[in-house]
Amino acid sequence: MTTMARQLVFMALFIVGKIMVKIICTIALLLVVSCTGIRDRNTYNMELIYIEAGLTRQGELVREYLRSTCCEGRVFQESMDCHSALDTYVTVQQRTPYHLGMMRYLGRLSENKPELPAIILEGALLCE
């Protein structure tokens, strides 16, 4: 094979390769754009309900721990363990609705984008 023939074969393969890459990218793009979603909406919503129920039950356990361990009457104890548990409890209680709402929004189950809540730590409220 002459040098000229090799150059023509190489150029033909190069052109075909570029065209194939464009075709593969176009097909992949069409598949991604045409999909309505990866998840089944009902299954995804059930998963969110499960997560919400689990976090609610765990929150109840942490609240009972705080009341039994960190409250003496109506006074919240100022220990590192109590403040750590209080921080976890309040963060989960106040942020869970936001995160679940955002998951529903991003999963296209809701049209309403939730607002990020402010977190307020007050242990005395648990001791009442």
Task: Decide which of 3 and 97 is more confident.
Answer: 97
Task: Decide which of 128 and 116 is more confident.
Answer: 116
The domain limits of the chain are 1-35, 41-106
Task: Decide which of 41 and 6 is more confident.
Answer: 41
Q: Alpha-carbon dihedral of residues 74, 77, 82, 86, nearest 10 degrees?
A: 40
Predicted local confidence at residue 1, as pLDDT: 61
Spatial CB neighbours of 128, under 8 Å, sequence gap ≥ 6 = 74
Quick check: helix, strand or coil at residue 72? strand
pLDDT, tens digit (0-9, with 9 covering 90-100), for 36-77: 555 678 888 899 899 999 888 888 888 888 888 888 888 888
Nearest-angstrom CA–CA distance, 18 and 84: 59
pLDDT, tens digit (0-9, with 9 covering 90-100), for 85-114: 888 888 888 888 888 999 889 888 889 898
β partners of residue 72: 75
Whats the size of the chain, residue-wise? 128
What is the b/e burial string over 96-108, where b = at least 16 CB atoms within 10 angstroms of the residue's CB? beebbbebbeebe
Task: Say whether pTM exceeds 0.75.
Answer: no
In angstroms and rounded to an integer, the radius of gyration of the C-alpha atoms of the chain is 29
Task: Decide which of 54 and 26 is more confident.
Answer: 54
Is the pLDDT reported for residue 10 higher than 70?
A: no
Query: In which element (H, E) is residue 76 found?
Result: strand 75-76
Predicted local confidence at residue 7, as pLDDT: 67
Predicted local confidence at residue 30, as pLDDT: 66
Is the pLDDT reported for residue 29 higher than 60?
A: yes
The label of the residue with tokens 């090799």 reads: 6
